[in-house]
Amino acid sequence: MATVRLEVSQLHHPTSAPHAPLSADERLLRGTLHAQLDAAIAPASIALVGASEQANKIGGRPLVYLKRFGYQGRVYPINPARELTQGLRTWASLASLPEVPDMVIVAVAGDAAIEAVAQAARLGVKLALVMSSGFGETDAAGRAREQAMVAIARRHGLRIVGPNTQGLANFGNGAVASFSTMFTETEPADGPVGIVSQSGALSVVPYHLLRTRSVGVRHVHATGNDSDATACEMAAVVARDPDLRLLLLYLEGLPDPWNLAQAARIARRRGLPIVALKSGSTPAGQQAAQSHTGSLATEDRVVDAFMAQHGIWRVRSVNELVDAAPLYLKGWRPAGRRIVVISNSGAVCVLAADAASRAGLQLPALSADTREQLGRILPGFATTTNPVDITAALLSNSSLFGQILPVIADDPAADAFVIGIPVAGAGYDVDLFARDAAAFAERTGKPVVVAAPQDSVAACFRARGLPVYVTEDDAVRALAQFIGHSELMAQVNATGDALDGRWADAGPRRLGAGAASADAGADPAVVPGADPAGQPSPAQTLLNENDSLRVLAGAGVPVVAHRLCGALSEALAAAADIGYPVVLKGCSSLIAHKSDLGLVQLNLADAAALGRAHAAIGAAARSAGLVLDGMLVAAMVGRGRELMLGARRDPVFGTVLLVGDGGAQVEVLPDARLLLAPFDVDSVRQAVSQLRIAPLLGGFRGSPARDVEAFCAAAVRLGRWMEEGDHTVLSVDINPVIVGPVGQGCLAADAVVFQAV
């Protein structure tokens, strides 16, 4: 296996003409955008400030690990009080070294850490790995110290990983600049998995779990406070390692999605799957958007939308982060969700079918020919349908397994296989089963997973290269994740160009703040860790309904026929033009929830009813102390399905589109999906199909199928308008959009719009 170091050095020398100006996109894919950070994974030399003789101290362990894991670069312990540290010549200061090291590890505390960073910066070091804590993770004073340290580094072009990090580890080249206890406890082995984590513990727990399952892991990088270089930047660096076949991420915050987008893009070009565990609560910056849409759009759903858009599989636990790894590493390309289950236990067949159903996998029928052939091999009380139950007859005849597998392999119905061997051992030829199953996997080229609770049985299958799980539930869930992620990646690949176009030159200010303040020329590498949540949110004002509907119409969203009126005579004239029945609403830019104040009168059948409503709304406004901008007469739209459509500018992720169930209950019974730009009808349609109420849009019990296409088209128009338009609108919240029967379109019946002032 080639070392990363070689690969990185190749990447440093692009073969194209050096004078051709490179776009950020080209620089990204050629590896020059993050070139300096290559020193994080392949440093030619490492100095350690605060070197310690004691192997279990923060300043001692990196020296132990660099030696133990075969680092071939130059290592310089720095400690003015010592001449030798762990047998290595020790230097008094960074300035006294015979060369400028690529990486400086800072393992001293407080002001000494800042001073070490400053020295490294002045010397022209590429990367400082600051293990010291007591910075941004503590208090305001700590944050100030951290910002000061980063400012010094940036002045000289020094990149920082950390502070408050347990370090970086590359087992491909032995550059293990880490003080994690885990590498003492759990023996490493180089392999095709990379882990990048903001947390030290959550970098080594997945490492440990993978190693105990005999999976090799190359990269284990913890980035700590992400004061300068972030976990997402490191992910982009690691994603370029050509030996990698799976990249795992642990994130607590995602302030720089553009860096993750770059990592995802590199990974996508290489077919490298990324699985991410994103934990934690909503950042304060998300609370800036205060419309309905904003309050529904928690950061977590934006993260969901972002991950899905970029083909990253988001998981909720460490178990899910690692469980499907053996499947990813096999290089299988699943064609679909149809699985065949084979077991020597009928109960395992039933449980696997239950698990498949829960996980959204199907059990297709086997062909008549397959069944007939199985019937000739298996005893009469066995089952030849899917699941295939060999029964306990396997105890008497271990060859049954090997006999039926080729028959099933030839059946076109299956995309993947689950083999369950709940009990075997004495009396069974388990190694024969494993050989037969491996040959079967080879023959079909399709994913095969094994459920075998007994270690002895699992070991046989694992030795033959098959992914093995304890229970059928574990096996099916891992398979479903692998298949689902493969589908997602294929889908993102199909629409990847538009995605790349959006995110290629994206930086913090570009996405969040609208075209007016976009800074397309900003190089994300210059301000990579900037915290957009710290930007002041723009002052905003609510539009009244009439103005809101005008905005929508301008954005290309069909709106209900309406007219803003003053006196009753105007309203009567408007209603005559629009046609009864009508709706009358008090119109004001001071309130978003009109109906709560009695300012909405529905289904007014004639002039008399309109007159009464006009008087009632006027009285309601007066009793609320409200001066209305006028009254809005609108067509009473016939019975349709009420949906919700919203758009806003997220300070970090740019334009966010929301599609969901509509009506008055959306806050107590939310049912919505978010999408991020760029928008297209296919992804909106898919989001709508994932709503809980989606079955109601298809027509049922006398209710016609709804014009979902019209809704999706309106959503795309709104999203693109928000994204591309030259305007000051900050958020749009349309509820309800009344969706008519197929072919009859949809109409926005009410809307709340905020714009910047």
Q: Does 376 bind a copy of itself (CB under 8 A)?
A: no
Q: Which residue has the tokens 């019990």?
A: 701
Which one of residues 117, 129, 158, 209 is an interface residue with a copy of itself (CB under 8 A)? 209
The token duo for 56 is 């279990």
Q: Which is nearer to a copy of itself, 23 or 396 (CB)?
A: 396
Kindly state the smallest distance separating residue 593's Cβ from a copy of itself, in Å: 7
∠ at Cα 733 (732, 738), nearest 5°? 125
Residue 378 burial (10 A CB sphere; 0-12, 13-18, 19+)? buried
Q: Does 99 bind a copy of itself (CB under 8 A)?
A: no
Q: Distances in Å between the alpha carbon of 340 and those of 144, 288, 352?
A: 59, 50, 10
Q: Does 548 bind a copy of itself (CB under 8 A)?
A: no
Q: Does 358 bind a copy of itself (CB under 8 A)?
A: yes
Beta-strand relationship, 388-389 and 339-343: parallel
Q: Does 199 bind a copy of itself (CB under 8 A)?
A: yes
Q: Does 513 bind a copy of itself (CB under 8 A)?
A: no
Q: Does 453 bind a copy of itself (CB under 8 A)?
A: yes
Q: Which of 664, 592, 593, 588 is nearest to 622 (CA)?
A: 588
Q: Does 372 bind a copy of itself (CB under 8 A)?
A: no
Could you give the CA distance from residue 140 to residue 128 in angstroms, rounded to a whole number? 23
Q: Does 695 bind a copy of itself (CB under 8 A)?
A: yes
Question: Applying CB under 8 A, which part among 8-16, 202-210, 618-626, 674-682 lies near a copy of itself?
Answer: 202-210
Q: Which of residues 395-434 bind a copy of itself (CB under 8 A)?
A: 395, 422-428
Q: Which is nearer to a copy of itself, 36 or 398 (CB)?
A: 398
Site string for a copy of itself, 565-604 (x = CB under 8 A): ----------------------------x-xx--------
Question: Applying CB under 8 A, which part among 348-356, 563-571, 574-582, 715-723 lies near a copy of itself?
Answer: 348-356
Question: Applying CB under 8 A, which part among 9-17, 110-118, 548-556, 697-705 lies near a copy of itself?
Answer: 697-705
∠ at Cα 360 (357, 361), nearest 5°? 75
Bond before 736 cis per omega within 30 degrees: yes
Q: Does 384 bind a copy of itself (CB under 8 A)?
A: no
Do 273 and 246 contact (CB within 8 A), yes or no?
yes
From the CB of residue 283, how many other CB atoms can be counted at a distance below 10 Å?
16
Which one of residues 282, 454, 495, 535 is an interface residue with a copy of itself (CB under 8 A)? 454
Kindly state the smallest distance separating residue 166's Cβ from a copy of itself, in Å: 7
Could you give the CA distance from residue 157 to residue 374 in angstroms, rounded to a whole number? 69
Kindly state the smallest distance separating residue 454's Cβ from a copy of itself, in Å: 6
Q: Which of residues 259-288 bind a copy of itself (CB under 8 A)?
A: 277, 279-281
Q: Which is nearer to a copy of itself, 349 or 542 (CB)?
A: 349
Q: Which is nearer to a copy of itself, 19 or 701 (CB)?
A: 701
Q: Does 535 bind a copy of itself (CB under 8 A)?
A: no
Q: Does 178 bind a copy of itself (CB under 8 A)?
A: no
Kindly state the smallest distance separating residue 639's Cβ from a copy of itself, in Å: 11
Q: Which is nearer to a copy of itself, 58 or 308 (CB)?
A: 58
Q: Which residue has the tokens 């083999």?
A: 419
Three-class SS state of 674: strand
Which one of residues 140, 702, 726, 757 is an interface residue with a copy of itself (CB under 8 A)? 702
Question: Applying CB under 8 A, which part among 38-46, 361-369, 449-457, 719-727 lies near a copy of itself?
Answer: 449-457
The token duo for 556 is 């290309």
Which one of residues 345, 546, 548, 683 is an interface residue with a copy of itself (CB under 8 A)? 345
Q: Does 639 bind a copy of itself (CB under 8 A)?
A: no
Number of helices followed by number of strands (H, E) in the chain: 28, 30
Q: Does 664 bind a copy of itself (CB under 8 A)?
A: yes
The token duo for 1 is 């296996």
∠ at Cα 665 (659, 671), nearest 5°? 35
Could you give the CA distance from residue 514 to residue 532 in angstroms, rounded to a whole number? 13
Which one of residues 6, 347, 520, 590 is an interface residue with a copy of itself (CB under 8 A)? 347
Q: Which of 24, 740, 719 is nearest to 309 (CA)?
A: 719
Q: Does 471 bind a copy of itself (CB under 8 A)?
A: yes
Kindly state the smallest distance separating residue 143's Cβ from a copy of itself, in Å: 12
Q: Which of residues 129-158 bind a copy of itself (CB under 8 A)?
A: 133-134, 137-139, 142
Question: Applying CB under 8 A, which part among 26-34, 353-361, 532-540, 564-572 lies near a copy of itself?
Answer: 353-361
Q: Which is nearer to a copy of itself, 454 or 540 (CB)?
A: 454
HSE-up of 375 (CA within 13 Å, CB side)?
8
Q: Which of residues 42-71 bind a copy of itself (CB under 8 A)?
A: 55-56, 58
Q: Which is nearer to a copy of itself, 199 or 262 (CB)?
A: 199
Rg (C-alpha) for the chain, rounded Å, is 31
Q: Which of 358, 309, 359, 292 is nearest to 672 (CA)?
A: 292
DSSP assignment of 495-533: THHHHHHHHTT--HHHHHSTGGG--TT--TTTSTT--GG
Q: Does 250 bind a copy of itself (CB under 8 A)?
A: yes
Could you give the CA distance from residue 401 to residue 378 in angstroms, rounded to a whole number? 9
Give 3-state DSSP helix, strand, coil % of the chain, rounded to 5: 40, 20, 40
Do 562 and 549 contact (CB within 8 A), yes or no?
yes
Three-class SS state of 27: helix
Which one of residues 22, 30, 73, 186 is an interface residue with a copy of itself (CB under 8 A)? 186
Query: What are the E-state strand segments in 518-640?
Result: 540-542, 562-565, 582-587, 600-604, 630-635
Please, which residues bridge with residue 176 across strands?
169
Q: Which of 338, 334, 356 is nearest to 474 (CA)?
A: 356
Which one of residues 182, 247, 621, 634 is an interface residue with a copy of itself (CB under 8 A)? 182
Q: Which of residues 316-335 bind a copy of itself (CB under 8 A)?
A: 316-319
The token duo for 744 is 């009859």
Question: Applying CB under 8 A, which part among 2-10, 84-92, 120-128, 467-475 lies near a copy of itself?
Answer: 467-475
Question: Applying CB under 8 A, which part among 344-352, 480-488, 523-531, 742-750 lies near a copy of itself?
Answer: 344-352
Kindly state the smallest distance separating residue 741's Cβ from a copy of itself, in Å: 15
Q: Which is nearer to a copy of itself, 291 or 486 (CB)?
A: 291
- Give 605's contacts (C-beta < 8 A, 6+ positions apart): 580, 581
Kindly state the smallest distance separating residue 537's Cβ from a copy of itself, in Å: 26
Could you give the CA distance from residue 51 to residue 87 in angstroms, rounded to a whole number? 12
Q: Does 173 bind a copy of itself (CB under 8 A)?
A: no
Q: Does 198 bind a copy of itself (CB under 8 A)?
A: yes
